[in-house]
Chains A and B, each alone.
Chain A
Amino acid sequence: MDLKLPNLGEGADSGTVVNLFVKEGDQIAKDQPVLELENEKAVATIPSTFAGTVSRIYIKPGDKLTVGQRILTLNEGAAQLSTPTSVSKPRQALRVVEAEPGPEKAPCETESTPAPEETPPSRPSRFPPPAAPSIRKLARDLGIDLTRVHGSERGGRIVLDDVRGYIQRLQRLAAQPRTAQAKPAPQAAKPPPEEIDFSKWGPVSKQPVSPLRAVIARRMSENWNVVPHVTQFEDADITGLMDMRKKYAGVYEENGARLTLTSFALKAVVNTLKQHPILNSSLDEASQEIVLKQYFHIGVAVNTEAGLIVPVIRDVDNKGLLDLSRELEDLARKARERKVSAEELKGGTFTISNQGGIGGAHFTPIVNKPEVAILGLGRGAMRPVVREGKIEPRLMLPMGLSYDHRVIDGGVAARFILDLAKAFGGFKEEDVKL
């Protein structure tokens, strides 16, 4: 049985092997992780879809894998014949037709390209689609997945005409939305990047751009280019909040959780989002609708050695501070160990980026599309504040709320941030105590 690279989701179709957990001869269980793949978004662990003994490994760290590529071969059940005899060899002649895990078995869903009049994945066969070797080679050259092509001949055999028809359909489909929505003409081809020899001016050292870094770069410029950004500043008074944190930190510790400012921020943000649902929305560019979400999944930016990762905490509104604190710690650890699954990076409705742990005051974060707003927190610092006519030292938290001005107007954002500041100041004992 061959284990092949399943669909990775997120439209990603390849990745680089960073870690291999198994070696030949290993006995592995179903769902046991076999390798770590650095793909577009992060590092994902790829589990085995079968149990058995690893008889052969075809890949190594550093290899670039594409979806469907063979990773290893598993012998099911007990160890194979003992002697290294050619007697048992001809059996392997059958590596040929071994069943491929069908697309429906892939662990992550694909959010892939449009699927025009495709053969449904319910293809009854466990075998690769029937097609002549010449057609299979053509498909490989063109990067076409034949399981998506409808075969018109007896037994569903795919012939050249079927592949041609499939490509024409794809082409029609790719052209359609552009004309329908009268989108601007495709951007003029970018000029090639200028080559600069930096070592002219002094010694330099070079680093390759990791796949994660490349993705961060691509997404950041995409978000920056598409979203008209405005950033609204405000300071929240967290003197009371931090007193409470100090008071209860011990109790939380005993319950295996670290009570941090971010846990409070999650709560404060969700309470404020409920009052201003537009900040918990997305702009559906295809249908030109604003989608208001009735769930509150908050992304938390985590700084890792490799770069920025934003795992998402689900249903924050239904969770208490203790649960949130535990989950936060767990996710941050997973992010640093690069064990966050693709699933855990998806579906956020709003993002918090807390740089307080590092320091610095206000900053202007970039909105994480398709979300419409992001909150950047600096380090809380004692400031002289005028309260009821007197100057008092208070612990003030610098906040910067960047938002998508296509969806959110300035007034709404200002009201949101004021309510948010209020929420930070409004935590009560019963919210915190266990």
Chain B
Amino acid sequence: MEPTKTDIVVLGGGPGGYAAAFYAADLGKRVILVEKDPRLGGVCLNRGCIPSKALLYAAHTMSAARESAHRGITFTEPAIDTTKLRAWKESILTRLSGGIAQLAKMRGVQVIQGRGYFEESRMLRAETPQGQQLLTYDQAIIAVGSKSAMPKAFDLGNPRIVTSREALEVEDVPESLLVIGGGYIGMELGTVYATLGSKVVLVEALDTILAGADPDLARPIAAYAKKAFKETRLKTKVAKMATSGRQIKVEFDLDGQKKEELYDRVLVAVGRAPNAENLGLENTRVSFDDRGFIHVNQKQQTTDPAIYAIGDIVGGVLLAHKAAKEARIAVEVIVGEDSAFVNVTIPAVVFTDPEVAWCGLTEAEARAKGIEVKVAKFPWAASGRALSFDRPDGLTKLIIEPDTERVLGVGIVGVGAGELISEGVLAVEMGATAKDLSLAVHPHPTLSETLMEAAEAFYGHATHTLVRKK
């Protein structure tokens, strides 16, 4: 078999992989993108970011309808047609992945559907439905992503024990649902199912949900969970699960005490594991850690000079926009630019109700590291905009370096926090000061004003809140 020769092979068509392939093509490289799924877009598009946000939106219309009763508008109880819901969600995914395929075509990026396997440092074998194909290249970029972690003890082969992948299919709405894991995936999917009507119990081994977020930002989410979930159990571990007829018998370890319960469905959301198996990495010089995350330096170079790696497969924060940033860096390094992942601000967003978002330094981190900071806060109860849509349960805060007044971090909880955080990212990336934020006019009435007012609060003169002088 005669191998096909190209400049760059990208393995994996997720937000890391397709971003890399497109950028490299835009810079004049000949690129082949190898993706095993028939649809491009990776986890994010097919079974992650996009479907979860679509379902959250659908669920939100239901909770919004329920909450409008006290405003004098009532609806009858909604009926849920999961087939239609699924079809609507599918249509979004089809449209998006079709768009990506289209963009690939227009750029001249050749897409090969097939599983990729490294025969050696500079040769990849693609197992396509039409047979094997060998590719040789100057550089390969690995972007094979991650999958839901499934601890051995939970893996009974019982279809009632699911991961986010199956949960996003919404086959039905179970009576009772146990969510294991209080990270963002568990919280987001717990929110979807609780709104659709499941009795949700969420367990978390740590003493808080959303462990990365500052406690004051996580508090409104905990309050929401208290109301919407049947129960949230912290410091609780699932010791064992067993099939019990059409249900799952779950044994909990509550701070040393044992407890048994039955559930119709169990969602395991305890983290992600890298897709490191069956890649043929042993035929290259690529090295990885004991969990399978590939080692890279800040130029996204692996220990094999011909191979780069980006996205979830290299660990760190497992988010789509981190993968896309790393894609840019890898390609720039390949074309000879001096690019590196240094001082890059990666924002985090949790799409719960309300949303939580933060970027840069958090208050908890500053405290843990003994970094002296000033924290300026603006509670949304003082925002006209937040009150006008009945959601004063929000908070905007700035983490500020005292001497320079530079904004080191921004944290927001509240409806639409995910959209608002970008101003924070820009402020942190630009090295903006609290003064900059307070001097820039923000339109009224909008939630973005909370950033300006938090900055004004730092100087002791926010219009809509009284700052006690210290």
Can you name the residue of chain A whose Cβ is closest to the Cβ of B151? A83
Contact B271 A58 (CB under 8 A): no
- Are the CB atoms of A87 and B212 closer together than 8 Å? yes
- Stretch from B1-9, B153-161, B244-252, B339-347 that touches the partner: B339-347
Say how far A359's CB is from chain B's closest CB, in angstroms. Answer: 44
Q: How far is the CA of A93 from the CA of B362 in the complex (A)?
A: 10
Within 171-223 of B, Cβ neighbours of A (below 8 Å) are at: 181-186, 204-206, 210-213
Query: Residue A88 at the B interface, CB < 8 A?
Result: yes
A55 to chain B, nearest CB (A): 9
Does B318 make an interface contact (CB < 8 A)?
Answer: yes
CA–CA, A126 and B344, complex, Å: 16
Measured between C-beta atoms, what is the minimum distance from B409 to chain A in Å? Answer: 7
- In Å, the complex CA distance between A93 and B319 comes to 9
What are the interface flags for B398-417 relative to A under an 8 Å C-beta threshold, 1 for contact and 0 otherwise? 00010111101100000000
A155: interface (CB < 8 Å):
yes
Task: Say what secondary structure dominates the interface of chain B.
Answer: loop
- Cα–Cα, bound, A59→B287 (Å): 11
Please determine whether A81 and B431 come into contact, CB atoms closer than 8 angstroms: no
Instruction: Mark contacts of A34-61 with chain B using CB atoms, 8 A cut-off: 1 yes-contact digit, 0 otherwise.
Output: 0000000000000000000000111110
* A70 to B430 CA separation, bound complex (whole angstroms): 22
Asked if residues A87 and B183 are in contact (CB atoms below 8 Å), the reply is yes
Residue among A83, A85, A92, A156 with max Cβ neighbours from chain B (10 Å): A85
Are A83 and B365 in contact (CB-based, < 8 A)? no
Say yes or no: A86-B360 contact (C-beta < 8 A), given A81-B206, A136-B343.
no
Given A69-B298, A84-B149, A125-B404, is A91 in contact with B365 using a C-beta cutoff of 8 Å?
Answer: yes
Q: Tell me whether B49 is interfacial, beta carbon within 8 Å.
A: no
Known: A140-B340, A157-B433. A94 touches B270 (CB 8 A): no
In the assembled complex, the CB of B42 is this many whole angstroms from the nearest CB of chain A, namely 16
Which residues of B270-287 are within 8 A (CB) of A?
270-273, 287
Q: Min CB distance, B193 to chain A, in Å?
A: 18
Give A151-197 interface residues, CB cut-off 8 Å to B.
Answer: 154-158
Let me know if B468 is at the binding interface, CB within 8 A. no
Give the bracket for the number of chain B residues in contact with chain A. Answer: 35 or more
User: Which of A63, A81, A82, A95 has a CB less than 8 Å from the CB of B316?
Assistant: A95
Decide if A92 touches B433 in the complex (CB within 8 Å): no
Across the interface, A124 reaches (CB within 8 A) one of B183, B289, B318, B403, namely B403
User: Which residue of the partner chain B has the closest CB to A140?
Assistant: B338
Contact among B270, B339, B343, B436 with A85 in the assembled complex (CB-CB below 8 Å)? B270
Whole-angstrom distance between the Cβ of B303 and the nearest chain A Cβ: 5
Number of A interface residues in the complex (CB < 8 A): 49
Q: Give the distance to chain A from B323, nearest Cβ to Cβ, in Å.
A: 13
The CA of A103 and the CA of B283, in the complex, are separated in Å by 42
Q: A89-B317, A125-B401, A127-B406 are in contact. List 14 more A-B contacts (CB 8 A).
A: A84-B270, A85-B270, A86-B269, A90-B348, A93-B359, A96-B359, A97-B408, A127-B401, A137-B339, A140-B340, A141-B337, A155-B405, A156-B404, A157-B406
Binding site for A on B (CB under 8 A): 149, 181-186, 204-206, 210-213, 269-273, 287, 289-291, 295-298, 303, 315-319, 337-340, 342-348, 350, 358-362, 365, 369, 371, 401, 403-406, 408-409, 428-433, 435-436
Q: Which residues of A contact B (CB under 8 A)?
A: 1, 24-25, 56-60, 63, 69-70, 76, 81-97, 99, 124-133, 136-137, 140-141, 154-158
15 A-B contacts (beta carbon < 8 Å): A60-B297, A84-B273, A85-B149, A85-B181, A85-B183, A85-B270, A86-B269, A88-B212, A93-B212, A93-B319, A97-B361, A130-B404, A130-B432, A155-B431, A157-B406
